[in-house]
Structure 1
């Protein structure tokens, strides 16, 4: 039988990191069946960036709503196709009883998903992280996982949390970014890349979208101490809400250096890929800024606040990359030593990094492929 795969893409479209992992997942899913992408409420630029083809869009096939079309197809073509519903990757953390009851992982939605499952639709999610949950949502998430055939989290901490509370059908896999391939030739001229540069990209909060100067201040002070004096610095953002911290970092660093450049536009995936690929190294507290560099063998250093950047810490530790982690609470001289040690042995580091990329890419391909057997 043929496979028909209904894909629910990310609801957050202003983050190029979400574009990255949704694109990688779509590229893999396409190998295993006919895709139907829920394009309702999604702008054309987002669908284009994640690689959605016109013939794969829900609107190409019907005026019906996504789940209505899925159920109609399951009834009409049940003898010709196996049906799959794939939920987008990312991160889920919930609290409050209303979320546990009415949210998109809540008990009412779980009831709907279980009806799909009982009608022979296999429900899958790949490459996401979970937690923290309050008690209400721990219970809700447990029941939510019972609707799944594959609930594949992207780090050891998420996996341990799921096992602790006996979440069903849980498996660990790498973050989908490790399978990204930059197939485009960089548009940057040879002359432009003769001057080496470092990329900076930061959020200014632990969660959410509100800019917090107080949160950013110690990060800026730390950057002043660890950045080389005579190196070109490019400050970028690939999340719309990171523009304010980018402006603030540019303003403060420019007080002490003339080598600071702000690229004042939200980078799309291809522009970010090309820019990171040619950088000397990257310093950031955004997971998919870091991974988009690493997967292209650009050294990427997380400058983190312990307790605030669990996703980054967990994924770096899972890949034996602990030595890249820089804490803004540590003495700056220790972080300079870390950076210089890795850069001084750059060739060896990149050989090891290539092994990590290949290992993770193979694991991602194998896990997704085996799910459709």
Structure 2
């Protein structure tokens, strides 16, 4: 190990291909010119093996008998690994709801603070960092007192931190690092894919079904093929339920298996995607597909509105949809695709610049 190596704590949801995607993208970028050690305690083998594919990525357990997850963190003050930086998984972080959450965040503070004292630069990037309470504000103020590298993935999140007197910068979602994010699609597919998470809100579900009825009727008249699918296993039942509502339409099919990492170019077969999952929309967009978000004010979908507003695409996000909206996308789809390619590249390059700055 040398003093240019990086420690990376893998802590995320392991059943969600979107979380695999953003971790993989960040790790691969960090490992271009550095050795990256992953703390993979309790990470499923299939998830871990994908993260370890790059030659400069290794398991932390190859150089350490302890993990930073759990009791192993008590050994940090006595360790001397000499890492240049420490990162953690991107995604939502913060918003302590109970005592256990507070303890977990205080342990995270201990890890980052202790490594900082050992001259390892702590980094947070690609995150939604949440302030919901006085404890959260105190936590982020304490972290920012010694951290110069806190990056959030939406301008609204940046404003929240600024309003609370906490230093942070903007860096886009890691999905934009995908190598195909700047490819131009030439071929028309006349296909649309649809995927939703169940928010367990009856009013939203009723409004969602009304909007889907409008969209399905519209695209059917244009003779589009329509495919319901799911990228997260726990979304299967809800998407099957939605499909069954429209199953008498001969243009519609249901893909009855979860989308896997090796199938991430699945989206390239479609012209449009409609979803309330962030990384369904972004992964499709990075494959040249036009995203249409159908959301509500749920915290799980607010991040979609925040991120799409940050990249200048808030006109792709709706609470309900009508034929005029859909007409605009279809009529202007070639222009929209060109705009998406430009936006993807801008976000991609901004992440590269931020990482270059952090590691310089």
TM-score computed with the length of structure 2 as normaliser: 0.87
Which residue number corresponds to residue 337 of structure 1?
324
16-25 vs 66-75, which moves further: 66-75
259-268 vs 56-65, which moves further: 56-65
Q: CA deviation at 1:289?
A: 0.5
Which residue number corresponds to residue 171 of structure 2?
173
1:221 aligns with 2:210: yes
Distance 1:10 1:239 in 2: 17
Q: Aligned to 2:245, which of 248, 252, 255?
A: 252
Q: CA deviation at 1:52?
A: 4.1
1:15 aligns with 2:16: yes
Distance 1:232 1:249 in 2: 16
Residues 270-293 of structure 1: per-residue CA shift (max 9 Å, x gap): 31x322111021000111100001
- The change in CA–CA distance for 1:237 and 1:121 in structure 2 (over 3 A counts) is same
Which residue number corresponds to residue 274 of structure 1?
265
Q: CA deviation at 1:307?
A: 5.4
Which residue number corresponds to residue 90 of structure 2?
89
Which residue number corresponds to residue 65 of structure 1?
67
Residues 247-303 of structure 1: per-residue CA shift (max 9 Å, x gap): 111111214x122221122211331x3221110210001111000011121101101
- The change in CA–CA distance for 1:40 and 1:97 in structure 2 (over 3 A counts) is closer
Distance 2:257 2:214 in 1: 27
> What 5-or-longer segments of structure 2 have no aligned partner?
182-186
1:144-163 counterparts in 2 under 5 A? 144-163=143-162
- The change in CA–CA distance for 1:60 and 1:264 in structure 2 (over 3 A counts) is farther
Which residue number corresponds to residue 187 of structure 1?
none
Which residue number corresponds to residue 348 of structure 1?
335
> What 5-or-longer segments of structure 1 have no aligned partner?
184-192, 206-210
Contact 2:232 2:258 in 1 (8 A): yes
Residues 319-369 of structure 1: per-residue CA shift (max 9 Å, x gap): 2212222222xxx4xx32122212212221111111111111110001001
Q: Aligned to 1:292, which of 283, 301, 314?
A: 283
- The count of aligned residue pairs is 346
Distance 1:71 1:182 in 2: 42
Residues 118-174 of structure 1: per-residue CA shift (max 9 Å, x gap): 111111111111235122222223223334331110100110111111224x11111
1:232 aligns with 2:225: yes
Contact 1:58 1:66 in 2 (8 A): no
- The change in CA–CA distance for 1:248 and 1:93 in structure 2 (over 3 A counts) is farther
Contact 1:32 1:372 in 2 (8 A): no
Distance 1:109 1:176 in 2: 22
- The change in CA–CA distance for 1:325 and 1:109 in structure 2 (over 3 A counts) is closer
Which residue number corresponds to residue 198 of structure 2?
204
- The change in CA–CA distance for 1:69 and 1:327 in structure 2 (over 3 A counts) is closer
Residues 67-90 of structure 1: per-residue CA shift (max 9 Å, x gap): 759967995454xxx431101100
Which residue number corresponds to residue 30 of structure 1?
31
Distance 2:48 2:277 in 1: 23
Distance 1:77 1:100 in 2: 28
Contact 1:304 1:325 in 2 (8 A): yes
Indicate the SS of the match to 1:42: coil
Contact 2:180 2:286 in 1 (8 A): no
Q: CA deviation at 1:213?
A: 5.8
